[in-house]
């Protein structure tokens, strides 16, 4: 996908998540299935996941290269990233550490997600296609991803958690 398609994908998946979240105003603090996250927790996890990606896209290129390195392979496709993520989840991969949700009020969760997703979308638009395939970011389950792959993951992640709300 080209930059404009990545921006549209980020915007669309996060907007769909926030729309679905809006359907849970009365039960936002209670999980639908025992042992699963509530809608408020789903939203907080999504926010906690997108925020560091947004911050990384604000960093100067030399710092990203210094901290995380350069890619020595071409970027994987959207479908390849999604399949790898699904495989890691099936193997027992779970959120941990700073990505575990707290209990913020559901009433502000959607606007927080939309705000940071909008910032990330704008920052992606300031990147070159080459930069997206050249620089790496770490992912706790998937290892090092190119910036393009991280955007693929971030967009799919919103969709994955939207489906958890159903």
How do the pLDDT tens digits run along the chain, 166 residues long? Answer: 999 999 999 999 999 999 999 888 765 556 555 578 889 999 999 999 999 999 999 999 999 999 999 999 999 999 999 999 999 999 999 999 999 998 777 888 899 999 999 999 999 999 999 999 999 999 999 999 999 999 999 999 999 999 998 7
Q: Work out how many domains the chain is built from and give that number.
A: 1
Cβ partners under 8 Å of residue 8, min gap 6: none
Q: Which domain holds residue 44?
A: 3-19+39-90+110-165
> Is residue 118 domain-resident?
yes
Beta bridge partners of 70: 135
> Is residue 145 domain-resident?
yes
Q: Is 94 exposed, middle or buried (0-12, 13-18, 19+ CB in 10 A)?
A: exposed
Can you say whether the dihedral through the CA atoms of 70, 71, 77, 82 is positive or negative? negative
> Is residue 15 domain-resident?
yes
Query: Rounded CA gap, 52 and 116, in Å?
Result: 10
What pLDDT does 36 receive?
83
> Is residue 95 domain-resident?
no
């Amino acid at each position: 996908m080209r930059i404009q398609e990545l921006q549209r994908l980020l915007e669309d998946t996060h907007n769909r998540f926030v729309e679905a979240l809006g359907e849970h105003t009365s039960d936002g603090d209670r999980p639908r299935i025992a042992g699963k996250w509530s809608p408020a927790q789903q939203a907080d996890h999504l926010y906690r996941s997108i925020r560091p990606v947004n911050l990384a896209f604000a960093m100067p290129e030399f710092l990203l290269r210094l901290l995380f390195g350069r890619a020595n392979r071409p970027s994987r496709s959207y479908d390849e990233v999604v399949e790898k993520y699904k495989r890691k989840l099936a193997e027992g991969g779970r959120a941990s550490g700073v990505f575990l949700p707290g209990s913020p009020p559901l009433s502000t969760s959607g606007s927080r997600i939309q705000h940071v997703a909008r910032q990330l979308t704008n920052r992606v638009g300031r990147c070159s296609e080459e930069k997206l395939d050249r620089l790496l970011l770490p992912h706790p389950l998937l290892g090092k991803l190119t910036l393009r792959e991280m955007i693929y993951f971030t967009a799919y992640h919103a969709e994955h958690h939207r489906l958890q709300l159903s």
